[in-house]
A and B are shown apart, each in its own frame.
Chain A
């Protein structure tokens, strides 16, 4: 059974701080790892990672994948209050029709 574990469960930071979120996974036949941001609505897509060691970047957010150690990290630099959200990690399993399995999420609160 595919499994995704995110840490920490939650964290509180101040504006300007840097945040690192962790995602470890077990999957039968890995296709991709995805990061989503969820505010008080549906999850919105951030990154899709398929190859180890290649950093994906979007503004202040970046993410990298390690397929050997089976984990990914999501970094947010110079955090802003608008970054407050739950960040979800998911893995896609090729052996299961590209089924997406989500972790429990990390709740980030950025204080002014």
Chain B
């Protein structure tokens, strides 16, 4: 398995533009997490899905952020409109919920810069 795959790896966009980050979890994993990492705030959980259903989106900073998981193998995180303070590394992680002795596996992240 190739692991959790995120795209793009890097994104530079202008303020006000729409940004879409993509994630393909590990096949068979039924939990998916979106995290944002900054120097100031560390690794923050934005939203997570269980069996494609959003369970907790309380970490989503504001209405400009939205996430979807239309099927078990794909998720998107969208920011519209983007702002400079959204600049961060966004990680997607997946885990096989319900199994014992398992851990979340992270993708390589998308480094977003909003100018």
Contacts and interface: CB of A to CB of B under 8 A. Distances in A.
Interface of B is mostly: strand
Given A88-B43, A101-B45, A105-B42, A45 B105 contact: yes
Contacts, number: 56
B108 interface: yes
Size band of the interface chain B makes with A: 20 to 34
A96 B56 contact: yes
A43 B101 contact: no
Size band of the interface chain A makes with B: 20 to 34
A41 B107 CA distance: 9
Contacts of A103: 42
Nearest to A31: B100
Interface string A32-44: 0010000001111
Contacts of B109: 41-42
Contact of A97 (B42, B43, B97, B108): B97
Interface of A: 34, 41-45, 48, 50, 88, 90, 96-105
Given A42-B108, A43-B91, 5 more contacts: A96-B55, A100-B93, A100-B95, A103-B42, A105-B42
- Which 6 pairs from chain A and chain B are nearest by CB? A42-B106, A104-B42, A102-B43, A97-B55, A97-B50, A45-B103
